[in-house]
Amino acid sequence: MTDTAKINLLDFDRQGLENFFADLGEKPFRARQILQWVYQRNVDDFAAMSDLSKALRARLSETAEIRLPDVAMDQKSDDGSRKWLLQLADGNCIEAVYIPAGERATLCVSSQVGCALNCSFCSTAQQGFNRNLTTGEIIGQVLVASRQLTADGISCNENGRAISNVVMMGMGEPLLNFDNATAAMRLMLDDLVFGLSKRRVTLSTSGLVPEIDRLREACDVALAVSLHAPEDALRDELVPINRKYPIKELMDACRRYIGEDTRRRVTFEYVMLDGVNDSDAHARALAKLLRNVPAKVNLIPFNPFPSTRYQRSSPERIARFQQIIVDDGLVTITRKTRGDDIDAACGQLAGQFQDRTRRRLRNIGVDVQDVAS
């Protein structure tokens, strides 16, 4: 059997691994052993997994593997951020970004090779779309980063963890890769894997309403919504999926996601584009829109990329915009730009891949699952 035909065990969450071993005639506890070896002890060689029988180790060596993305480039920013260009088995490359801030250290991971949603201010979207990432390729980003940071002696707290938070905000729309993204997040939450709190794993979406409704049952994590405009006409231009799921439907889905839990909030991301969506009127409209939604607002200074037509709002304009929203009672922060010297800031991730669809939601009426297939 060739390596390419082997099963990558990173593609399974705990339940998936238990099913895998059941098919081999093994007991479910084998899944626990594999998770501990790979994620806690950083051992990928089945021959070294001493609490497995020799027969099972030999069988796994023939049929399965632990396959991580290869590090094609490792860039470090002056502000402490770090970006990895990771090469996949098919030659495509994706990007993951590490952002330290005291005892909080966040890893931003990708869910697709490119993106089909064509948000006009995002570098990734302008590159087109190639394919969904597998579960192993998503969780592999966390594993690669964690191992490299630990090897460099980097930790963010007394527990020695290199990563305290993970955000699904890299390349791609995670809800268009629903099954693989949710399986990867279950691994992030699993005590035998990374053991993160569900409040420390965040999925960011452009607003796929049916999938938001599915998400809480599949994997109850924090939700962020790329809003970027307070009314439909402008959002149709900036975030084309809005033509299929307009703002009212999106807000209703956010309220359903929060449910009766009064402690929770949806984070609404709002990129600040000079002269486009940053006026006082836009701020007042945004405050009105979110008045009845458990929300916090994250203002993001636009990060430029080659060929973009947009400019970043001035610091004075951003401060004025924020004050209007705060005065209306909304928790609002302005995200500090990190990693822009290595093109690792929000909206700048591009990777290296070939756009195989070239569709980019030209027909917004098509089923979004067809776009990602």
Q: How far, CA to CA in Å, does 113 sit from each of 88, 136, 351, 369?
A: 10, 14, 8, 15
> Cα 161 to chain center, whole Å?
19
- Mean pLDDT, residues 178-203: 96
Range of weakest confidence among 72-76, 145-149, 308-312, 357-361? 357-361
- Mean pLDDT, residues 96-108: 91
Please determine, for residue 344, whether its predicted confidence score (pLDDT) is greater than 70: no
Q: Is 105 helix (H, G, I), strand (E, B) or coil?
A: strand
The pTM is what?
A: 0.90
| 336 or 174, greater pLDDT | 174
The pLDDT, as a whole number, for residue 262 is: 82
The pLDDT, as a whole number, for residue 122 is: 82
346 labelled catalytic: yes
Please determine, for residue 348, whether its predicted confidence score (pLDDT) is greater than 70: no
Asked if residue 178 lies in contact with residue 130, where contact means CB atoms within 8 angstroms, the answer is: no
The pLDDT, as a whole number, for residue 359 is: 46
| Element spanning 34, H or E | helix 29-35
DSSP 264-303: --EEEEEEEBTTTT-SHHHHHHHHHHTTTS-EEEEEEE--
119 labelled catalytic: no
Which sign, positive or negative, has the C-alpha torsion 185, 186, 190, 193? negative
Catalytic residue (choose from 26, 65, 95, 269): 95
- Mean pLDDT, residues 202-220: 95
The pLDDT, as a whole number, for residue 341 is: 56
The identity of residue 79, as a single letter, is D
The pLDDT, as a whole number, for residue 338 is: 57
Class of domain 70-372: alpha beta
| Element spanning 331, H or E | strand 331-334
Summarize pLDDT for 261-292 with one digit per residue, the tens: 888 899 999 999 999 999 999 999 999 999 99
Residue 158: pLDDT band (50, 70, 90) is low
Catalytic residue (choose from 122, 219, 254, 346): 346
The identity of residue 31, as a single letter, is A
Summarize pLDDT for 9-45 with one digit per residue, the tens: 999 999 999 999 999 999 999 999 999 999 999 999 9
The pLDDT, as a whole number, for residue 1 is: 39
Instruction: Compute the C-alpha angle 154/88/46, nearest 5°.
Output: 70
Which sign, positive or negative, has the C-alpha torsion 365, 310, 350, 150? negative
Domain boundaries, the chain: 6-65, 70-372
Asked if residue 209 lies in contact with residue 152, where contact means CB atoms within 8 angstroms, the answer is: no
CATH topology of domain 6-65: DNA polymerase; domain 1 (1.10.150)
